[in-house]
Every structure is written in C-alpha cells, then in structure tokens.
C-alpha cells in the first residue's frame, strides 16, 4: 500500500513537471521519429552532435517549432545524409532509411525538405486512416536516391500541399492520380528525372492552382490528356524525353492562356503545330524538337511576340521557314536542316 502511495506521488510529480516544463518542447513521438530517421543513416555526424536525446528537439539543428512546441519545419537539405537499408530482413519496411511515417503524416509539420542528400528507401504510403487534413505544404525529397515506388494514396490526405518536388531520384510506378483531388492547392509539381511509367493521369486537370508541372525524363506514355488543359493556371508545362504520342489538340490547348513554357521535346508526338498557337500570348519557350511532327509551320508562329526560344529540330516539317517567320524569329529558329 505504501509502495502504491509512493508511486502515486511520483506520478503526480511527473505530471506536475510536465506541466511546468517550457511550452516549447517537442513531443516524444516526434522526437522518436526524428531519432529513428537519423539512426537509419550514415554521414550524419554533424546532426548527431545536435540531435541528442536528452535535449529538446525544438533546439536541434534543422528543426523549427511553433510557439506551442510543435515541429513545423524539418530542413535537412544538403546535409550529406546517406541512407542505407538495414540488412535485417525481419521488418524491412521499418528498417528502410526512408522517411518515417510520423514525419510525412505529422499533425504539425508544414515544410519537410530533405533534398540533396543520398537517401534511399521508402517514401511512406500514408494510409487514408487520417481523416483530418495533414498540414504539410512543402515536400522536397528531390536529388536523392529514392528508387521505391512513388506513393499513390498519400496525397489524398495532403489537403494543404502546395509544392511537391521529387525530381532527380529513381522513383518507379505511376504519376499519382490522387494528386490534385486530394491536394487542390498544389502549385508546383516536379517529378522529372525518375523512372515513372504509364499514362499522365487526367485528374491533373483538377489542379486549378498548378503553375509548374515538370515530369520530363521518365518513361511516361500515351497522350497528353485533354483534361490537362483545364488546369488554366499552368505557366510551365514540361514532359520532355518520355514516350508521349498523339497530336497537339490546338482547340483545347489554348485554354492555357498563362503558359510561358511548353516543352514536349523528345517524344513521339505527330501531327502539325496548331495554327492557333499564337493564342498563347505569353509563350516564351516552345520545345517540340525530336518528335514526329509534320506539315507546314503555321505563319501564326510569327505572332507569338514573346517567344524567345523555339526548338523544332529533328521533325518532319515542310515549308519555307524564311518566308513564314520574321527575321528576328528565324534567327532563333533551329530546324532539322541545321
């Protein structure tokens, strides 16, 4: 009975201490997740000196907390972090030095930047169990060595996501179709230089806030879905060096009135350059080189007054370009005859 009383007193003391402890101290769960993340890696000696278990993780290098002590930012770009998958085969998913689920699905983290490291392993598939919206706005995992399948369902709970950069890895799988359905605020999506395959999902048309879409240097196939032209905020649309086919649908394409860069070079696109190309009033860069396009170059190209770069080389165009383009344009114009 006395032992119980002592235990009770101790519990009360612990409770009291936790109440008076400074407001800025991160939760045990988040601290554990960060330490687990660090443990799976080598090349982290500089971080390990700062990330000590006995200290408040709000004070750790690369970690920013809000006034309530919740982590809001994890900024670990270019830290020389190197993830190696543990040889333990027992629970391979837990041991892969990817991103712990707790960080991806955190209830407080707004910015998660682990770009320019040598991390591999998994980007976790956050289960749809989380009915509450995740606050994550910026996820930058670019320029690492991730070679796992790109998550597909995770984005359904990322209601606040604004920027997703996963470029320059070796992610496999498809471009997720849940992206803008789940994250309607998405403004920047960069998936270029990966191993993604399959079609471009037509749900990208629901990305009403999307300004930058880059998915070049993958193995994407099929056509540029017509729905994508509903994403009228697009300023930068870039799918070079994939296996895209079909023709450019001028009638629908011109809905992208904010477009400044269109890069579809290095695909198998056929057909003509749409005559109404001059409806892209803001177009500055047009890359259609190394495709299977044909026909005459429309004279309306000469009316794209903001065009600075135009690359049409290695196609099968016919017609006298000198006649069609004003001298200023024809100087910039590079054709297959070059």
Interface with ligand NAG by CB under 6 A: which residues?
77, 113, 115-116, 138, 140, 142-143, 163, 165, 167-168, 181, 188, 190, 205-206, 212, 214, 227, 230, 245, 268, 270, 278, 292, 294, 299-300, 302-303, 316
What is the greatest pairwise CA distance in the chain?
102
Please report the DSSP string for 296-327 in residue order: EPPGGGGG-TT--EEE--SSEEES-HHHHS-H
Please identify, using beta-carbon distances, which residue of 110 and 212 lies nearer to ligand NAG. 212
Using alpha carbons only, how large is the chain's radius of gyration in Å? 25
Please identify, using beta-carbon distances, which residue of 25 and 120 lies nearer to ligand NAG. 120
Please identify, using beta-carbon distances, which residue of 12 and 316 lies nearer to ligand NAG. 316
Provide the terminal-to-terminal Cα distance of the chain, rounded to the nearest Å.
94
**Closest-approach residue to ligand NAG (CB):** 140
Shortest Cβ distance from residue 58 to ligand NAG (Å)?
21
Rounded-to-integer distance, Cα 119 and Cα 113, Å:
12
Shortest Cβ distance from residue 176 to ligand NAG (Å)?
14
Shortest Cβ distance from residue 4 to ligand NAG (Å)?
54
Shortest Cβ distance from residue 186 to ligand NAG (Å)?
11
**Which run of H or E residues covers position 181?**
helix 179-182
Residues 41 and 119 sit within 8 Å (Cβ to Cβ): yes
Please identify, using beta-carbon distances, which residue of 107 and 302 lies nearer to ligand NAG. 302
Shortest Cβ distance from residue 30 to ligand NAG (Å)?
21
SS3 content of the chain, % helix, strand, coil (to 5): 25, 20, 55
Please identify, using beta-carbon distances, which residue of 86 and 270 lies nearer to ligand NAG. 270
Any idea which residue has 């004003």 for tokens?
326
């Amino acid at each position: 009975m006395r032992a119980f009383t002592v235990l009770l007193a101790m519990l009360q003391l612990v409770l009291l201490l936790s109440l008076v402890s400074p407001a800025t101290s991160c939760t045990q769960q988040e601290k554990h997740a960060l330490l687990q993340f660090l443990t799976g890696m080598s090349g982290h000696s500089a971080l390990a000196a700062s990330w000590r278990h006995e200290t408040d993780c709000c004070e750790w290098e690369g970690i920013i907390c809000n006034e309530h002590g919740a982590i809001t930012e994890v900024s670990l770009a270019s830290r020389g972090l190197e993830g190696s998958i543990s040889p333990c085969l027992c629970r391979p998913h837990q041991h892969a030095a990817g991103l712990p689920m707790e960080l991806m699905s955190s209830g407080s983290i707004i910015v998660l930047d682990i770009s320019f490291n040598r991390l591999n392993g998994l980007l976790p598939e956050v289960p749809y169990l989380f009915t509450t919206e995740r606050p994550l706005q910026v996820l930058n995992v670019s320029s690492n060595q991730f070679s796992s399948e790109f998550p597909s369902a995770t984005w359904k709970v990322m209601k606040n996501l604004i920027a997703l950069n996963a470029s320059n890895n070796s992610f496999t799988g498809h471009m997720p179709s849940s992206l803008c359905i789940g994250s309607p605020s998405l403004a920047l999506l960069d998936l270029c230089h990966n191993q993604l395959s399959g079609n471009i999902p037509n749900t990208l048309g629901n990305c009403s806030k999307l300004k930058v879409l880059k998915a070049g240097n993958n193995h994407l196939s099929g056509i540029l879905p017509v729905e994508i032209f509903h994403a009228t905020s697009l300023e930068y649309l870039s799918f070079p060096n994939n296996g895209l086919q079909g023709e450019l649908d001028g009638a629908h394409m011109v809905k992208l009135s904010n477009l400044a860069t269109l890069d579809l070079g290095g695909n198998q696109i056929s057909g003509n350059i749409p005559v109404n190309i001059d409806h892209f009033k803001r177009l500055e860069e047009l890359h259609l080189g190394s495709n299977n396009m044909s026909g005459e170059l429309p004279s309306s190209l000469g009316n794209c007054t903001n065009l600075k770069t135009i690359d049409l080389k290695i196609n099968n165009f016919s017609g006298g370009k000198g006649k069609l383009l004003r001298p200023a344009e024809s100087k910039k114009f590079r054709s297959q005859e070059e």
